[in-house]
Amino acid sequence: MDRHDLRRFRLDYYPHAVEIASRYADVDDLGHINNLALAAVYEDGRTRFYMDYGVWTAPQARDDIGAEGVMMVASLKIDFIAETHYPAPIVIHNAVVRVGEKSFSTHQLATQDDKPVSLCDATFAYVAGKAAVRLPDPIRARLLRAMTSQNGESA
């Protein structure tokens, strides 16, 4: 863990957390939750984060925020720190760390049994048609509210 910024392991770094049930179907031959399955758990945690902050751009949510585009993953990195096991739930802690003109970045921490198991860094572009476009003002304002108070920057 010494290669990571220690602030990333503090729960107060993240303004949002959601518990995700682990699934037996995701257990691998070694008896722990498969790393690829953990990537999907992060995706679920991000989606719930977006829903709770009102920035979800799925078709059924677009009218609320005047969105015509969607959030697309531009970059995703997961550092696995410890094994995860079934049946304990996984808590995904979420924070926005950068809001730019057409994109934003997030930090996530996964914990299980109150211990860190992995970190996820992601950058998302707001895309309409086939190109990145400016984040709509309502989405931008809500993302700024979801920023970590520890080191977030807005651009």
Residue by residue, pLDDT tens for the chain (155 residues) are: 568 899 999 999 999 999 999 999 999 988 899 999 999 999 999 999 988 888 876 655 555 555 678 889 999 999 999 999 999 999 999 999 999 999 999 999 999 999 999 999 999 999 988 899 999 888 899 899 988 876 544 43
- Report d(CA 142, CA 135) in Å as an integer: 11
Question: Hey, what amino acid is at 115?
Answer: K
Task: Say whether pTM exceeds 0.85.
Answer: yes
How far, rounded to the nearest angstrom, does the alpha carbon of residue 105 sit from its chain's CA centroid?
9
Cα separation, 40 vs 149, whole angstroms: 26
Pick the CATH number of 6-147 from 3.20.20.70, 3.10.129.10, 1.10.760.10, 3.40.50.10800: 3.10.129.10
Stated as kind and residue range, the H or E segment containing 104 is: strand 103-112
pLDDT, position 119 = 98
pLDDT given for residue 124 in this prediction: 95
The residue extents of the domains of the chain are 6-147
Is residue 10 within 8 Å of residue 116, measured between CB atoms? no
Cα gap 108→121, rounded to integer Å: 6
